[in-house]
Structure 1
Amino acid sequence: MTAPSNTWLYGLVPAGRPVPPGLSGVADEPVRVIAGPGIAAVAGSVPRADFEEEPLHAHLEDAAWLERAARAHHQVVATLARSGPTLPMRFATIYRDDQRAATMLDSRRDELLAALRRITGRTEWGVKVFLVRPSNAAYDTGANDRASGEPRPGTAYLLRRKAQREDQQQIMGRALDDAEDIHAALSASAAESTRHPVQSMEASGRGEPMLLNGAYLIDDGHSSAFGRTLDELTAGHPELRVEATGPWPSYSFSGVGAEPEGG
């Protein structure tokens, strides 16, 4: 007897487009197509025992499981995107069965087709901007005082510390303005752009503050021009570290807001 399963959605594609052979999903399941009116969902059957609300919540709190599943989900989406227009679905978009997923395709047909047209012939690029920290020695007044052998009067020390804080605030303010200029220039080269929340240094694993976490939807024919703009901006801001990744499927611009069903 086959164990009951839920339907996990990976992406939406134009109706009639075949799925590349050999694709498997988050539960090592083969993926397939659920047909809709003019649009189709690429989906997989995942065991209900692992993908109902409570067990799924437990999985999502397991970092190792989450990394494996996210990689598997992305692998399916990326493979689909290489073979044609693909609207990525949010990770863990789950329906009770194929029929409910097909009902969603039918009820939201116009919205989904418009979103698919919007990302056709375009890919996403991500750009992060970090402030390259000045040498700590430049701010270590205690080290300067010790090196000079001079005493450190309390009032003078506090005044110097105040001046240093003000200098650092000015540096950060200028860097944030420069990051805004970079975002504006890149947005002008993009069909669409958006900003994600910047990550803390702990989350990014970097020793530099993140100033911009942007995503840009670029026409396939304009990717070289976008790259040149990025190179010019990088060269013009040596105090910043500008890092680009891509091309990606259009995760940030699907705009469909599909909600997973509860068990």
Structure 2
Amino acid sequence: MTEDIPAPAEAGAEAVYVYAVCRAEEPPDLTGLAGLSGEGPLRALAVGPALTAVVQTVRAAEFTDEAWQARLADEPELERYARAHHEVVCAMAARLPTVPLPLATLYHDEQRARAALGRESQRFHAALERTANHSEWGVKVYVTDAPVRQAAEDTPQRPAVGAGRAYLDRKRSLRDRRERHRTDALRIADAVDAGVSGLATASRRLPPHGGRVPDERRRQVLNATYLVAEERAAELARLAQDLRERTGAQVELSGPWVPYSFVGEV
């Protein structure tokens, strides 16, 4: 839905930045929300039956391809934009059923924004229906690393009769232990995912972050996100503790979040 802002933008040209679309019969209360620092005030834009977008007029030059590429290389500046966007989305989600839009969703003017968002009204209503009274929760599972080969065990200090066979046997044993460890880790990941999925309304299993956790002897085996009814939050916390005790793995639960991961799956 994002329109490209031409580059270079004309001096003084403006664009309409969209944060979220809410279910609201009347213009929502935007008190206390600043949005992107230094820009105009936030305002409501009706985009369909019972649908209102939260928008802000911004300088088009701030969002040309060149400007955005430069921002991507400037981590503090990118974080500032992302935080401002997220704060508006979270504030609206606390007040009204809300569909968050991606960072830097822009249109040339209100007319184009209203038309483009209006064409998506059916999708917005479906997403709002699906995520109403739900939050997103993240679950990450870590297990200890597989056995590490010890040089003193794997390499004979001096040649001896049968040393070659013993070395190969140790190598084979280590390989078998590592394979069992990998299988056990996958089984734990599947067990945690199945347990939380049984409680959740929807789930998304993401690729685990590769490699070991820096300075720690643990490896991530599950990286998933779940859409959970707000009334089941306490049940989820108890389940996470039970899964820690049953599996012996480190099960990290984070949230509740605005359900970014589930508004597009309708």
Same fold (TM over 0.5): yes
Contact 1:130 1:212 in 2 (8 A): yes
Are 2:157 and 1:160 equivalent residues in the alignment? no
Distance 2:226 2:176 in 1: 34
Distance 1:28 1:256 in 2: 34
Are 2:28 and 1:18 equivalent residues in the alignment? yes
Look up the equivalent residue of 1:5 and give its one-letter code: E
Look up the equivalent residue of 1:104 and give its one-letter code: A
The verdict on how the C-alpha distance between 1:232 and 1:256 changes in structure 2, with shifts beyond 3 A counting, is closer
Unaligned ranges ≥5, structure 1: 258-263
Report the equivalent of 1:94.
106
Distance 1:221 1:92 in 2: 32
Look up the equivalent residue of 1:129 and give its one-letter code: V
The verdict on how the C-alpha distance between 1:209 and 1:94 changes in structure 2, with shifts beyond 3 A counting, is farther
The verdict on how the C-alpha distance between 1:119 and 1:57 changes in structure 2, with shifts beyond 3 A counting, is same
Superposed displacement of residue 78, structure 1: 1.3
Report the equivalent of 1:39.
51
Distance 2:215 2:131 in 1: 32
The verdict on how the C-alpha distance between 1:53 and 1:160 changes in structure 2, with shifts beyond 3 A counting, is same
The verdict on how the C-alpha distance between 1:42 and 1:126 changes in structure 2, with shifts beyond 3 A counting, is same
Distance 2:51 2:70 in 1: 33
Match among 224, 248, 251 for residue 234 of structure 2: 224
Superposed displacement of residue 224, structure 1: 1.4
Superposed displacement of residue 28, structure 1: 4.2
Contact 1:50 1:56 in 2 (8 A): yes
Distance 1:40 1:171 in 2: 52
Look up the equivalent residue of 2:188 and give its one-letter code: D
Match among 97, 116, 119 for residue 104 of structure 1: 116
Contact 1:4 1:47 in 2 (8 A): yes
RMSD over equivalenced CA pairs, Å: 2.5
Distance 2:199 2:215 in 1: 28
Report the equivalent of 1:261.
none
The verdict on how the C-alpha distance between 1:27 and 1:51 changes in structure 2, with shifts beyond 3 A counting, is farther
The verdict on how the C-alpha distance between 1:162 and 1:186 changes in structure 2, with shifts beyond 3 A counting, is same
Superposed displacement of residue 40, structure 1: 1.1
Report the equivalent of 1:120.
132
Matches within 5 A, 1:57-206: 57-133=69-145, 139-144=148-153, 153-201=163-211
The verdict on how the C-alpha distance between 1:108 and 1:183 changes in structure 2, with shifts beyond 3 A counting, is same
Look up the equivalent residue of 1:33 and give its one-letter code: A
Distance 2:261 2:205 in 1: 9
Distance 1:155 1:97 in 2: 76
Q: TM-score, normalised by structure 1?
A: 0.85
Q: Once the two structures are superposed, what CA deviation does each residue of 1:27-65 show, in whole Å capped at 9, x if it has no partner?
A: 443322111222111122222112022211221232222
Tell me the secondary structure at the aligned position of residue 75 of structure 1.
helix
Superposed displacement of residue 6, structure 1: 1.9
Are 2:260 and 1:255 equivalent residues in the alignment? no
Tell me the secondary structure at the aligned position of residue 199 of structure 1.
coil
Tell me the secondary structure at the aligned position of residue 21 of structure 1.
coil
The verdict on how the C-alpha distance between 1:28 and 1:184 changes in structure 2, with shifts beyond 3 A counting, is farther
Q: TM-score, normalised by structure 2?
A: 0.84
Superposed displacement of residue 19, structure 1: 3.5
Superposed displacement of residue 103, structure 1: 0.7
Matches within 5 A, 1:4-15: 4-15=13-24
Superposed displacement of residue 150, structure 1: 7.2
The verdict on how the C-alpha distance between 1:200 and 1:32 changes in structure 2, with shifts beyond 3 A counting, is farther
The structure, 1 or 2, with the larger RCO (C-alpha pairs under 8 Å, 6+ apart) is 1
Tell me the secondary structure at the aligned position of residue 16 of structure 2.
strand
Identity rate, percent: 34
